[in-house]
Structure 1
């Protein structure tokens, strides 16, 4: 029997497993993919320093370090239930039940789907799927495509597709409706993109971002936004066009677009069909936290963290004894932050297991400091209000702890 079972072999899970193993704990990692690394496997981008962040190399480094520490890594294993019995956690998988006193859930994030007519055609995929096919499986998703949805994730993966020689013809918005919500509202999209101006080599966004943070200036900017869009690495970002239908018989052949006003309302009679052989839908990310819900962990709704997240402390523990979380399940951030959180969780588990002698508290405080430092210097921030969301969760944890003490 293991001391710790880590669910998820991505950056948070592997970093957590390494920290646990260094503290002398027996660790098992399970992941449903064919190899460890999680979202790291698809990441490739240039840092502000000019250095390249290669997710595949980073995942290999973590994998090798974990193996040297005798961490048992099992791939192709799906977890479908998690429950506590006496003092032990039972982790139910497609290959049997695993048992341990400590569990670290590092299941990451999933993409929001934005359905529209024609989205079931071959050649339509999420933006994350395009990233995995391109960078992990080395499969060309198409020759000429359209991205529906303008957000930071779309920006980052656009660059990766272009590096692979794939042409993205344009980035447009989804049609505004109850499902797409703010993703179909030009002003809300503009507001979010201003925080990603450093990722977009566009004078309109780079210099305009300094002024358009004010509501009235942003509204004026949208009214004068070029109809043909502004170029992002040569690809037009068209905030005044929305996709209303994906066209094709047996596969994607084009996208029907319509002009929209500054509020996202379709302008009648403005529809045009543009040719494309693939479409990427970029709906954004949300924490993939169902397993902690099954386990009975309480949740908090914090939009700044990406939606509903399991109640947790800054040291990654939950109100359920022996259950810890790390990575995007706690809020949508970058792979580097997930790794820093994983290390924090691993040290926190070691402390609860009585490992680390007199140095564990110092190590844990250093790990927490590192999380804040990495967050402060993050090249990609999925939510500009992440610090506010983290502070709110920390306060909620302190309130919960104070209530438990009183009782």
Structure 2
């Protein structure tokens, strides 16, 4: 029997574990990866104040603090199933079976790649894989690469690859089809790109982004977007060119690109080959919420949060007794927000365990999440606040329906 069990040793899981341990409860964290830190491990960027956010260092700080507080961390441990038996959550892994009254799911996010001709060639990988290879394993994914997919994630990782002296030839859109309807549409992509313009070293890019505040200016911007792209960190960002094929005999040798119309249609006769020895596909992130589904938690599709998210309140409690969520399983945001959510989840678990009354501390931690979200350097979804508002409305509707049934 474990007092509290946390699945996921990323920023949310570790911060929750620290919070719980600081209040004197035993907590056990399990994770399938070989190192604690989750997606935080791969992050490396300079903040507006000039400080560097180094994911490996931040992960080590969290893991070390948790260990010093007596938190047990089991890595290389995959969860196969969870179920509620009587009043306990039973978690089945490939090594042990655990039973707990309070279970926190901090499983994070997963990448969502899109298929493209040639994507099975050696040398094709997700953009997150390139990030881990470069920032965590210190291995170059290649000498010259192309990133397919223009979004917040690919822009941030392109900057990190650039810091590692890796030549990124270009970042371009995928050819538009039923699967890439959003990611292959220049206007939709521009909306996303405007939210990372502040990261660009180019004053021209920053100034230009401020001009595109209405739909007319955005359409104008797409129509007259330079055919050679706009450079950020020396990397051409292409909104009027799409990759239609990855080519190579036994491994990646390059990509075939073509000019596209403002609505994403390929213009015949404009094809050109760009040499590369690796290709990254950047389809974005979605909440990794399968375990919450297995547990029986209700879900809602909220596009502003990145996909389907388990129904929960701002105290990180789900509709199921003793089951909590924190981090990217609740919506795609940065590591700092995940850390703040972990604190709230930890406080809620301690409070609900009956050991201490922490209503004031929980209220303050919820405000801290909002402040962290407001100050986030990288925002994966610009309308995340609207998404959280929708989630709260779903929660209130659930509470009302439950009260009606009970009455």
Report the TM range for the smaller structure's normalisation. Answer: over 0.9
> Is 1:116 aligned to 2:116, yes or no?
yes
Deviation string 1:4-37 (CA, Å, 9 cap, x unpaired) is 1100000000011111112222111000011111
TM norm structure 2: 0.98
Instruction: Please show how residues 5-404 of structure 1 align to structure 2 within 5 Å.
Output: 5-357=5-357, 360-404=358-402
Supply the distance in 2 between the matched residues of 1:23 and 1:233 (Cα, whole angstroms).
45
1:82 positional shift: 1.0
User: Relative to structure 2, which stretch is displaced further, 338-347 or 389-398?
Assistant: 389-398
Deviation at 1:391, TM superposition (A): 1.2
CA distance in 2, matches of 1:171, 1:201: 17
Displacement, 1:365? 1.1
Is the CA contact (8 Å cut-off) linking 1:154 and 1:282 kept in structure 2?
yes
3-state DSSP class of the match of 2:241?
strand
Structure 2: distance between partners of 1:288 and 1:79: 13
Q: Quick check: 1:142–1:278 contact (8 Å CA) kept in 2?
A: yes
* Distance (Å, rounded) in 1 between the aligned partners of 2:244 and 2:212: 28
TM-score normalized by the length of structure 1: 0.98
Cα offset, 1:203, TM superposition: 4.2
C-alpha distance in 2 between matches for 1:275 and 1:362: 58
* Secondary structure of the structure 1 residue equivalent to 2:267: coil
CA-to-partner distance for each residue in 1:130-150, whole Å, 9 max, x for gaps?
Answer: 000001111111001100000
Single out whichever of 327-336 and 219-228 deviates more from structure 2. Answer: 219-228
How far 1:402 sits from its partner (Å)?
2.3
Q: Which stretches of structure 1, 4 residues or longer, exceed 3 Å deviation after superposition? A: 202-205
Query: Secondary structure at 2:113's aligned position in 1?
Result: coil
CA contact (8 A) 1:6 1:17 kept: yes
Contact 1:187 1:218 in 2 (8 A): yes
- Quote how far apart the aligned CAs of 1:80 are: 1.6
Deviations, residues 78-122 of structure 1 (Å, cap 9, x unaligned): 012111000000111111211101110000001111111111111
Shift of 1:312: 0.4
Shift of 1:204: 4.7
Question: Aligned-pair distance for 1:40?
Answer: 1.1
CA deviations on 1:271-327 (whole Å, 9 max, x unpaired) are: 111100010111111000000001100001111011100000000000010000000
Instruction: Tell me, in whole angstroms, the C-alpha distance in 2 between the residues paired with 1:33 and 1:181.
Output: 33
The question of whether the paired residues in 2 share the 8 Å contact of 1:107 and 1:288 is answered with: yes
> 8 Å contact 1:194–1:213 — kept in the other structure?
no
User: How many residues are treated as equivalent by the alignment?
Assistant: 405
SS in 1 for 2:129: helix
Distance 2:43 2:356 in 1: 34
Provide the rounded CA distance (Å) in 1 between the counterparts of 2:195 and 2:65: 35
- Which one is further off, 200-209 or 177-186? 200-209
Shift of residue 238 of structure 1? 1.0
Distance 1:377 1:228 in 2: 33
- The 1-side partners of 2:15 and 2:399 are apart by 27
Unaligned runs of 5+ in 2: none
Contact residue 174 and residue 244 of structure 1 kept, 8 A: yes
